[in-house]
Every structure is written in C-alpha cells, then in structure tokens.
Amino acid sequence: MAEKYPIGTRAESERLVRDWGFRHVYTWSDGSHGGLTTHLIRRGTFTVTYPEENVNLHNGEVKKETFGPGARIDVPAGKVHEVWIGDEGCEYVIGE
C-alpha cells in the first residue's frame, strides 16, 4: 500500500507518523556518531559521502563512494556522513 502525504517540517512529519499509531518514530538523516563505527557490507551496495569534506576539501563538489560485498568502511567519531543504499538493497553489519 502506498499513499501520498504533504511533507512539511520534520516535526510535522514525525507527528503525522505518530498519529498513525507508531510510538517509536525516528528521522534518519545525515549525522555522526560519538565513537568510531565500522560497516561490513555483506550484499548489495552502500554509498557514502561526507558533507563537511565536500565543502572544505572539494569546493562544494559532492564526492560519493560506493562499496559492495566484502568492503569495510570505517567512519571516525564525530564525522558527519550521509548514506544511500543501492537499488538492490544492502545488508551490512555495523560495529560501534
């Protein structure tokens, strides 16, 4: 089932989902973690970018890297990152 809803602010969207009866509501967006994280790709593809590096090191050009099965991606503590999962999905193991 797919329905379409108007998208407002993050708070409005989260309230809408709560109104549907879901108690645990979370918005997944770019962010960072308090400690080192590692991602071991088991199947599919995983694409990552680092917004602060795009601004500071690449003059605003968005640099993305895509990884497949067997790849290990480490993200240092506090490093803001954004992730996309490939069309075929992705299964990965995270260590924090």
Distance CA 52, CA 71 (A): 23
What amino acid occupies position 82?
E
92 vs 28, higher pLDDT: 92
Domains along the sequence of the chain with CATH = 30-95 (2.60.120.10)
What are 64-94's pLDDT values in tens digits? Answer: 999 999 999 999 999 999 999 999 999 999 9
Asked whether the CA dihedral 68, 81, 26, 12 is positive or negative, the reply is negative
pTM of the model: 0.71
Residues 6+ apart with CB under 8 A from 73: 38, 39, 41, 46, 48, 67
